[in-house]
Amino acid sequence: SAQGFDRNFDHFTDIRPVIKTSLADRFFAIRGSGHLLRRRIVRRFLNLIGMHPNPPRPACNANEVIEHGLLWITQEHDQPFFLWLHFMDLHWPYQARQRPKTGDEKEAVWKDRFLWRTVRRRKGKFDPGQKRSDRWKQLYREELEQMDLCFGRLFDALYDMEDWENTHVVLTSDHGEEFFEHGTWAHSWNQLHKEGAHVPLIICKARADQPRQVTSTVSQIDIAPTILDLAGVAKPEAMDGHSLMVHLEGQAEVEPRPVYSEMHGHRDSILYRLSIIHDGYKYIYDGDRDCCHLFEMAKDPEERSDIYHKDDAVSRRFDSLRLSHVAKGVLNILKSDDPVVGEDILYDLDADPKVVERLRALGYLD
C-alpha cells in the first residue's frame, strides 16, 4: 500500500472498485474524460448514442470489503487472529447505493461532483444552498443505514460460525464530517470542532456481561493498548496511550487526562491545528490564523461561544498545555529515526513541515 497501511501485517489486500467493461465505463479510462463528462451537453450526447455514464466511485463499497473479510475469517486458523477492515462508504462523495439509478438521480450526482470542485477550490467554505445541503445530509444518513446493515452481516456471520463469543470487536472512525456547522463541508478542512473530531468508539468485549455507556472523552491513541490488553499482550514501553479496560470493567479514572487532536496540512487546506479537551473545556489552536478558541462544553456543546481570552486563567492553562505538547512533539521528531531528519539535521528541520508548524505554534517562527 502506498499509504503504508500494510506495514507489519502478514496478509494485506488493497481492494479496488470493480471496473466494468461496458463502453461507457471504458470511456472513463481515457485521460481527460472526467473533464468532458462533467459537461451536461457531453453526457446528453452519450445518452443519445446509448452510453449512460455513471459518476465514478473512488472506492469499493462496504459489502465488497466484508466479502473479502469473510473469505479470510472462514479459513482455518491455528491461532488467534487480528483482522482490520477499512470502510470508505461514509465519506465524500456521498452516494447512497440503494437509490434507484434514475436519470434525475444520475444528474443530481453529477451536479454533486461539479459542486464539490467548487467546495475544494474554496477550501470547504462554500454554501451550496438549502436544497443541495439537505440532499447531502440525507445521502449521508442513507449511507449510515447501509453501513449498519453491512456490520450486521459481518456480526451475523461470526455468530453463525460460533466465533462470536470468542471475538472482540472495536469499531471507530478516523474523522467525522462537517455539514457547514462552522462554515465548511466534509473533513479535508477539519477545524477540529465537534462535528469533525468527535467520533464513535464501540468496543464489544467477548462474553461481556452488560453493555456500558462511557461519557468520558478518550483518545484514539488508547485503542491499540486496549486491543493488546484484550489479547493479553503487554503494551510496548514506547507505545503512546493507555488501555481503556478500566472503562470496560466499570472502573473510573482518578484523573482524566487531556485529550489532544492534531491536524497537519491536507490538500493545501491548513497549516496546523491542535485541540485539547480537558476538565470540561475544549480548546482549539488554529495555525492558519494563529489564534486560539475556548469553549465550555457543558454550556456550549455545539462550540459556538468562544470564551478564550489570553489574560484569563483557564485560557492561560490551555496555552501552557499546547506549548508543552508541541515542544514535546518537536523533541520526539528530533529523537526519532524518521528518515526525514537525516544526517544534515539543520537543513531537514527547515524543510520538514511537521517541525516547522510545531515551531510556529510555539511562537519561534512568524
- In-domain check, residue 103: yes
What is the rounded CA–CA span in Å between residue 234 and residue 230?
10
Number of folded domains that form the chain = 3
- In-domain check, residue 239: no
pLDDT greater than 70 at residue 35: no
- In-domain check, residue 324: yes
Q: Are residues 100 and 193 in the same domain?
A: yes
Q: Are residues 155 and 78 in the same domain?
A: yes
Q: Are residues 49 and 68 in the same domain?
A: no
Q: Are residues 37 and 144 in the same domain?
A: no
pLDDT digits 0-9 by tens, 139-198: 999 999 999 999 999 999 988 888 888 899 999 998 999 999 999 888 767 789 999 999
pLDDT digits 0-9 by tens, 224-251: 999 999 999 999 998 989 999 988 887 7
Q: Are residues 296 and 202 in the same domain?
A: no
pLDDT greater than 80 at residue 355: no
User: Which domain-ending residue is among 151, 183, 215?
Assistant: 215
Q: Are residues 87 and 178 in the same domain?
A: yes
Q: Are residues 362 and 264 in the same domain?
A: yes
pLDDT greater than 80 at residue 360: no
Q: Are 245 and 226 in contact (CB under 8 A)?
A: yes
Residue 44 exposure: Cα atoms within 13 Å on the Cβ side: 3
Q: Are 196 and 176 in contact (CB under 8 A)?
A: yes
Q: Are residues 75 and 169 in the same domain?
A: yes
CB atoms within 10 A of CB 120: 18
- In-domain check, residue 234: no
Global confidence as pTM: 0.81
Mean pLDDT of 95-117: 81
pLDDT greater than 60 at residue 366: no
Give the CA angle between residues 293, 294, 296 to the nearest 5°: 155
- In-domain check, residue 232: no
Q: Are residues 180 and 139 in the same domain?
A: yes
**What pLDDT was estimated at residue 138?**
93
- In-domain check, residue 230: no
pLDDT digits 0-9 by tens, 305-346: 999 999 999 999 999 999 888 877 766 665 665 544 433 333
What is the rounded CA–CA span in Å between residue 336 and residue 334?
6
**What pLDDT was estimated at residue 345?**
37
**What pLDDT was estimated at residue 337?**
57
- In-domain check, residue 77: yes
Q: Are residues 68 and 127 in the same domain?
A: yes
pLDDT greater than 80 at residue 86: yes
Q: Are residues 197 and 72 in the same domain?
A: yes
pLDDT greater than 90 at residue 105: no
- In-domain check, residue 236: no
Its domain, for residue 166, covers: 60-215
**What pLDDT was estimated at residue 132?**
93
Q: Are residues 351 and 317 in the same domain?
A: yes
Q: Are strands 185-186 and 281-286 parallel, antiparallel or unpaired?
A: unpaired
What is the rounded CA–CA span in Å between residue 341 and residue 351?
9
Least Cα distance to 90 among 135, 141, 32 occurs for 141
**What pLDDT was estimated at residue 344?**
37
Which three three-digit cell numbers place residue 169?
470487536
